[in-house]
């Protein structure tokens, strides 16, 4: 019985809403600038990310579509492309932390879709910084 009472008290304490006094500062969210922090990657990682993976993935873009907050790029559905995209996204999230990433694979062996999006201003950043990604998409420069 004591164990049950202890567990109930512990659950109540953990699930109770946090209270803040009027003198406590509310947490601030600091937003990163719309700029690539190349120093977030080691020299070897930078080389692989910018000189190998980026150019390789640009050649694999099958299409793109504009979204309200960014762009979605379409890629072929194969193991190599999926692995390259996930590796590229991992590096990109370090040097460009303002991006939201969404990678999806459509059913029945359909294409891979990678969405890049984020807060207001991100779409314009993508449009200017990823200009070579749009070369084969039909979206005008």
Helix ranges restricted to H, the chain = 2-15, 43-46, 54-60, 79-95, 122-129
Q: Has residue 109 got a pLDDT over 80? A: yes
Is 110 part of a structural domain of the chain?
A: yes
Domain that residue 94 falls in? 40-134
- What pLDDT does residue 117 have? 94
**3-state secondary structure (DSSP) of residue 70:** strand
Q: Has residue 18 got a pLDDT over 50? A: no
- What pLDDT does residue 113 have? 96
Is 88 part of a structural domain of the chain?
A: yes
- What pLDDT does residue 27 have? 63
Regarding pTM above 0.85, the answer is: no
Is 30 part of a structural domain of the chain?
A: no
For residue range 50-73, what is the model confidence (pLDDT) as tens digits? 999 999 999 999 999 999 999 999
Phi, psi dihedral angles at 98 (to 5 degrees): -85, -5
Pairing of strands 112-118, 70-75: antiparallel
CA–CA distance, 131 with 26 (Å, rounded to integer): 39
For residue range 23-32, what is the model confidence (pLDDT) as tens digits? 555 566 677 7
DSSP letter at 100 equals: E
Q: pLDDT tier at 89 (50, 70, 90 boundaries)? A: very high
Pair of tokens at residue 124 = 């314009």
Total residue count of the chain as it appears in this document:
141
**Residue 93's CATH number:** 3.30.1360
Is 33 part of a structural domain of the chain?
A: no
Could you give the number of structural domains in the chain? 1
Is 2 part of a structural domain of the chain?
A: no
**3-state secondary structure (DSSP) of residue 113:** strand
Q: pLDDT tier at 5 (50, 70, 90 boundaries)? A: very low
- What pLDDT does residue 4 have? 41
């Amino acid at each position: 019985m004591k164990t049950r009472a202890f567990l109930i008290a512990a659950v109540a304490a953990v699930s109770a809403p946090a209270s803040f006094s009027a003198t406590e500062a509310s947490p601030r969210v600091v937003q990163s600038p719309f700029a690539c922090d190349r120093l977030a990657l080691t020299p070897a990682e930078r080389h692989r990310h910018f000189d190998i993976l980026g150019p390789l993935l640009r050649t694999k873009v099958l299409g793109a579509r504009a979204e309200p907050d960014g762009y979605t790029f379409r890629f072929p559905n194969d193991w190599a492309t999926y692995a390259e995209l996930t590796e590229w996204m991992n590096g990109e999230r370090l040097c460009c932390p303002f991006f939201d990433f969404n990678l999806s694979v459509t059913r029945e062996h359909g294409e891979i879709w990678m969405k890049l999006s984020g807060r207001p201003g991100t779409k314009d950043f993508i449009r200017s910084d990823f200009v070579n990604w749009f070369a084969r998409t039909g979206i005008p420069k």
